[in-house]
Amino acid sequence: MSNPDDCVRVAAVGDVHLDADVLGRYRPALEHLGDKADMLLLAGDLTRHGTPEEARCVAQEFGGLAVPVIAILGNHDYHSDQQDEVAKILEDAGLIVLECSGTVLGCGPLRVGVAGTKGFGGGFAGACASEFGEPEMKAFTHHGRELAERFGLALAALECDVRIALTHYSPVPETLLGEPLEIYPFLGSYQLAQAIDGAPGVGLAVHGHAHAGSERGTTPGGVPVRNVAHPVIRQAYNVYQLSAVLAPA
C-alpha cells in the first residue's frame, strides 16, 4: 500500500479478548503490518478477565511489531481489579497505554496525536443518565462525565497536525446499530462525542465494545467514527488513511 507524504495509515482492532487458548490467532497477520500501516491502535478489551496472565498473552501477541502500538483498556481488562498491573505488563512489552492521556508520533512530515480513554456508558441524546437521585446513579453518571472531560482535555492539548480519538465505549449511537436498544446506555455516551468535537483537527475516532454493532458512524461535529471490535470487522485489523493540510515551510 502506497503512503503519500501527507497521509498516515492507521490500523485498528478492539475486543480481541486474548487468553492462552487463543494466543497466536492474530500474530500471523501482524508480522507484515509495517508494509500496510504506520501504527496500530488497540481499542480495549484486550483480555477476557483482566488478569496478569492474560495480559502477558496480549504482550506476546502485540509486542515487538514493526509499528508503534497504542492501546487503551476496556471493561474486561478492569474485571479482576488488576488494571494497573495489566497496563504495566503491556508497557513493559513496548506498547503505549493511554488513559485520559495522549501521545504524539512522527509519521513522515506529519505529527499524529492520539488521545485515549476507556470511557464509560451513560447513553445518548434523549435517552441518557443524569446526575440526579440516588448516590449510585449520580456516581455512575459522574464517572462517565469525568472521564469524558479529562479525555477531551488530553485530546485538545496534543501538539500535532492531526488528532485521533481512541476509546472503548462508543461516542455515537450509529455504531451500535445491531445491538439491543435497551443496552445503548451501557455501550457509550454522547459526552465522548462532545469531547471529540471540542478538540480541533480530529480526523478519526476509533472504539470497540459493541460486538453486534456497525462499523461506521459520525459525531455531530462531523468526525468519522469507526467501531473496530473484532466481531464487527472480522479480521485482524482494519486500516484507515488520514491526511492533514501541512503549513507551508
Q: For 180, what's the count of Cα atoms within 13 Å in the CB-facing half-sphere? A: 3
What was the pLDDT predicted at 1?
46
pTM of the model: 0.95
* 3-class secondary-structure state, position 77: helix
What was the pLDDT predicted at 126?
84
**69-72 sheet: strands from edge to edge:** 96-97, 69-72, 39-43, 7-13, 238-243
Residue 64 has pLDDT above 50, yes or no: yes
Segment 12-34, tens digit of pLDDT? 999 999 999 999 999 999 999 99
Q: How confident is the model at residue 187 (pLDDT cuts 50, 70, 90)?
A: very high
Q: How confident is the model at residue 128 (pLDDT cuts 50, 70, 90)?
A: confident
**C-alpha cell at position 227:** 467501531
With a pLDDT cut of 90, the percent of the chain lying above it is 90
C-alpha–C-alpha distance, residues 226 and 198, integer Å: 18
Note the helical H segments in 180-241: 190-197, 230-233
Residue 248 has pLDDT above 50, yes or no: no
**C-alpha cell at position 208:** 470497540
Measure CA of the first residue to CA of the last residue in the chain; give whole Å.
27
Q: What residue type is assigned to position 74 of the chain?
A: G
DSSP one-letter code for 180? -
How many DSSP H helices and E strands does the chain contain? 6, 13
Residues found in the chain? 249
Residue 188 has pLDDT above 50, yes or no: yes
Q: How confident is the model at residue 146 (pLDDT cuts 50, 70, 90)?
A: very high
Q: What residue type is assigned to position 208 of the chain?
A: G
Angle (deg, nearest 10), helices 135-157 and 190-197: 20
What was the pLDDT predicted at 125?
87
Average pLDDT across the chain, whole number:
94
C-alpha–C-alpha distance, residues 103 and 70, integer Å: 9
Could you tell me which residues are beta bridge partners of residue 240?
Answer: 10
* 3-class secondary-structure state, position 153: helix
What was the pLDDT predicted at 28?
96
Greatest mean pLDDT among 37-46, 128-137, 238-247 lies in 37-46
Q: How confident is the model at residue 127 (pLDDT cuts 50, 70, 90)?
A: confident
Segment 217-233, tens digit of pLDDT? 999 999 999 999 999 99
C-alpha–C-alpha distance, residues 172 and 149, integer Å: 16
Do residues 209 and 75 make contact, with C-beta atoms less than 8 angstroms apart?
Answer: yes
With a pLDDT cut of 70, the percent of the chain lying above it is 96
What was the pLDDT predicted at 157?
98
What was the pLDDT predicted at 164?
98
